[in-house]
Chain A
């Protein structure tokens, strides 16, 4: 029998100080980044145009930018795919995306004669549609969160519900922070990834809360913090195993899944790691502090 950790007995509650400090630091940095650098919203939300072009011969980003500046879009984002530099994704934010496509075609014909090219993907979104989509997505996120909170509060002590929601907000902020640092695009699909991360984080929180709930009935006489610690330790190998298999799947997506879903897979990878961390270090520690400050009467 292989075991990751044999009969773990780690004092998570005793070390909660470090967890809180670590989380406070990463959340502060993430918030600063989100506020001052700003997330790189994709054209789904800002409106604009995206073209993925495959050239026959390699084309440098600089040459492409030069062509784009001729049509007044020198500030476009250009992302080269693969090592051959034959495939590029060009993103332009803003108004009148339809006109841009025609202009781009003409300038590329002129600047890269004889270099055959193929348009692999072409998206245009008017800013108006982007705004509608953003509003719709926000509603979806809010409704999902409220329903989850209701469910968790109904099934568990409300303290676990609140702590679980704090943990998932923590995860979402950190993930967005990493997306800002790496300048990954936040598209509608990445929002889907954020929601999945939230689902996963809640999932972890529930498994741990479930075990602690069970321990409360079995270990009535033990101090509160000992019960919390026992619950965490008993579920620790499951927590690590599940993170492991999920990360295997997500890593496969990131490496082999192709350009279209790379940002999505990256967000999941970051989110699942932080989600596992938060359900161990944030969730239970919030409950423990809460109990110390405002002890509940035990039946």
Chain B
């Protein structure tokens, strides 16, 4: 009965702090048409929804060090900077980009289109400007045919030239023949001059077939992506009919590179300049005059979206090495919504069942347990808000579980009080003794589960962490609500109404 006023004060202060902490969360998730700035502001003080609830992608990338002398972690650091620039410009809300050991980068992007995001992150974006050697094409193809005739062609009895079809004015091949064409070219290496190599365009539709164009390019690049100062997307300015209605990327070179570009274009008038991105020829316009302004554009049947993303990627620069996805977890927005709905429903039903059960079994005292239980639920959410904790689907499961397990404390206390009453103790003594005796047990039994929760939080991976967090927070706050708050309520009411017969 000591310090009842003080103890009531503590409970009230805790509840007020809790309300203060939880308000931004409630405003953020229930407020309709909040201005964007308010949302951003609120989200800094609210519970953060995990990717499994809001939808989005979680991906771990690893740098591919094959054939590179640099250390994986150095490559990773460079790749990290570039990816961060790309993601920042792409405009994702609350992205997470983290370096991990072993040359890995963790990226979490809420609510993005998966295909687009993968392209944005993974594209190496190695850009090259290379001169086409169209004049020598026919001669080299003939050489290959002659050469292959004289050797064992590994079961290809057709000559190389028979695979070649016309695509507008370029040679090309049907993509169904891609394996054969590539194999024959690889075999013919001895007769292909060292200063040139074959390159291919992207897949396209031509006369009802899927085809790729064939180009013969100088092996040495005239300029690379490092020469680029700026890249912007815009509607195609090309006079070529096939690019009507498509988008392009306008490039601006750095000063040094612009001078070189002028020289290259001046020296190669009437030749074609191929723009090669990650080994695929995007376009190969004819050089009609020397270009001194240091500007060029990439046309290639891009949609507005593709052109915009590519411009971002080119501005941010090329990755130092290819990246491989070693882990990916993507959740569509609809499953996220379903998960929230079913999770909240499960928590509500679990609470309702337990609340009802306690009322029936312990009558009026069950009501005290129910207040403690609901207060516990409230504090868990308030603590998550205050520390900007992440709520995930396993986290919601942790909350549901807390509800079931938290009443254990009340059950322990009430069973003790019943025992004390049975052996003839007065109501007040029974309450005091019941709480005192049960406390030892409650403490011991909660500590072990909390130990496990903390270990899971420290060592567990993403999805387990959320569960460990809510379970641990729930059990800790339960020690306060079931024991401290519960006792305050009992003391206050038995004192105020001078209760002699406890309904428990």
Q: Does B288 contact A (CB under 8 A)?
A: no
Q: Check A252 against B350 for contact (C-beta < 8 Å).
A: yes
Q: Which residues of A contact B460 (CB under 8 A)?
A: 137, 140, 188, 192
Q: Check B404 against A188 for contact (C-beta < 8 Å).
A: no
Q: Does A174 contact B (CB under 8 A)?
A: no
Residue interface mask A89-129, B partner, CB < 8 A = 1: 00000000010000000000000000000111111111011
The answer for the CA separation of A69 and B471 in the assembled complex, in Å, is 42
The 8 Å CB contact of B455, one of A143, A155, A211, A258, is: A143
Q: Which residues of B contact A129 (CB under 8 A)?
A: 60, 326-327
Q: Does B112 contact A (CB under 8 A)?
A: no
- A26-34, A196-204, A286-294: which lies at the B interface? A196-204
Q: Check A125 against B346 for contact (C-beta < 8 Å).
A: no
The answer for the CA separation of A264 and B447 in the assembled complex, in Å, is 23
Q: Does A71 contact B (CB under 8 A)?
A: no
- A60-68, A221-229, A233-241: which lies at the B interface? A233-241
CB-CB nearest in chain A for B57:
A122
Q: Check A206 against B444 for contact (C-beta < 8 Å).
A: yes
Q: Does A25 contact B (CB under 8 A)?
A: no
Q: Check B456 against A195 for contact (C-beta < 8 Å).
A: yes
Q: Does B328 contact A (CB under 8 A)?
A: yes
Q: Which residues of B contact A123 (CB under 8 A)?
A: 328-330
Q: Does A274 contact B (CB under 8 A)?
A: no
Residue interface mask B440-466, A partner, CB < 8 A = 1: 110011111101110110111101100
Most chain-B CB neighbours within 10 Å: which of A120, A192, A204, A211? A192
Q: Does B224 contact A (CB under 8 A)?
A: no
Q: Which of A264-298 contact B (CB under 8 A)?
A: 264-265, 268
Q: Which residues of A contact B327 (CB under 8 A)?
A: 124-126, 129
- A13-21, A146-154, A178-186: which lies at the B interface? A146-154
The answer for the CA separation of A4 and B377 in the assembled complex, in Å, is 27
Q: Does A248 contact B (CB under 8 A)?
A: yes
The 8 Å CB contact of B332, one of A120, A191, A198, is: A120
Q: Check A246 against B404 for contact (C-beta < 8 Å).
A: yes
Q: What is the predominant secondary structure among interface residues of chain B facing chain A? A: helix
Q: Does B354 contact A (CB under 8 A)?
A: yes
Q: Does A78 contact B (CB under 8 A)?
A: no
Q: Does A189 contact B (CB under 8 A)?
A: yes
CB-CB nearest in chain A for B468:
A192
Q: Check A237 against B415 for contact (C-beta < 8 Å).
A: yes
CB-CB nearest in chain A for B352:
A252
Q: Which residues of A contact B445 (CB under 8 A)?
A: 202-204, 206-207, 210
Residue interface mask B104-116, A partner, CB < 8 A = 1: 0000000000100
The answer for the CA separation of A155 and B447 in the assembled complex, in Å, is 11
CB-CB nearest in chain B for A247:
B404
Residue interface mask B42-80, A partner, CB < 8 A = 1: 000000000010000000100000000000000000000
Q: Which residues of B contact A256 (CB under 8 A)?
A: 342, 345-346, 349
Q: Check A249 against B330 for contact (C-beta < 8 Å).
A: no
Min CB gap A45→B, angstroms: 11
Q: Does B28 contact A (CB under 8 A)?
A: no
Min CB gap B453→A, angstroms: 8
Q: Check A1 against B408 for contact (C-beta < 8 Å).
A: no
Q: Check A257 against B463 for contact (C-beta < 8 Å).
A: no
Most chain-B CB neighbours within 10 Å: which of A144, A234, A248? A248
Known: A118-B332, A189-B463, A238-B411. 11 other contacts (CB 8 A): A121-B331, A126-B326, A129-B60, A192-B468, A196-B467, A244-B357, A245-B411, A252-B353, A258-B341, A260-B52, A261-B394
Q: List 7 A-B contacts (CB under 8 A).
A: A147-B451, A189-B464, A199-B448, A252-B349, A257-B397, A257-B400, A258-B341
3 closest cross-chain pairs (CB), A and B? A249-B404, A258-B342, A140-B459
